[in-house]
Amino acid sequence: GSGWGAAGPPAAPAPAGPRGPAYPGRGVFRPGAQSAYVTQLGRQLVKKGFGRHYAKGPGPRWGEADRRAVEAFQRAQGWRGGAADGYPGPETWRRLFS
């Protein structure tokens, strides 16, 4: 099939002034990491309707529930394979908070 591949369609220019919080970097979202960004990410996933993986929380410690929720969000963007690994990159973060 023809499609956009993992990159997705060309992005439209971002409006001036970021609407969401700045992406904190990949190191924040790895097993055992603990940060307010993880809580913020989890709350936004719940708000967007991807909170079913949380038994409790979300909270500040990155865990499997967070990864699965992010993966579900990524798959909802039409991403597959490595693009939907459950670890938020800058584009996942931008879309989640837009």
Rg of the chain (C-alpha set): 13
Query: Under CATH, to which class is 24-96 assigned?
Result: mainly alpha
Identify the three-state secondary structure at position 34: strand
User: d(Cα 34, Cα 9) in Å, to the nearest integer?
Assistant: 33
> Rounded to whole angstroms, how far apart are CA atoms 30 and 38?
10
pLDDT at 57 (0 to 100):
86
The pLDDT assigned to 6 comes to 52
Q: What is the pLDDT of residue 19?
A: 65
Q: Give residue-wise pLDDT tens across range 34-68.
A: 999 999 999 999 999 999 999 988 999 999 999 99
CA 27 to chain centre: 13
pLDDT tops 70 at residue 3 = no
pLDDT at 94 over 90: yes
- Is there a contact between 25 and 86 (Cβ–Cβ < 8 Å)? no
Q: Is the pTM of this model over 0.85?
A: no
Determine what percent of the chain is predicted with pLDDT higher than 70: 81
Question: Alpha-carbon distance 38 to 21, whole Å?
Answer: 12
Confidence of residue 18 (pLDDT cuts 50, 70, 90): low
Q: Where is pLDDT greater, at 52 or 15?
A: 52
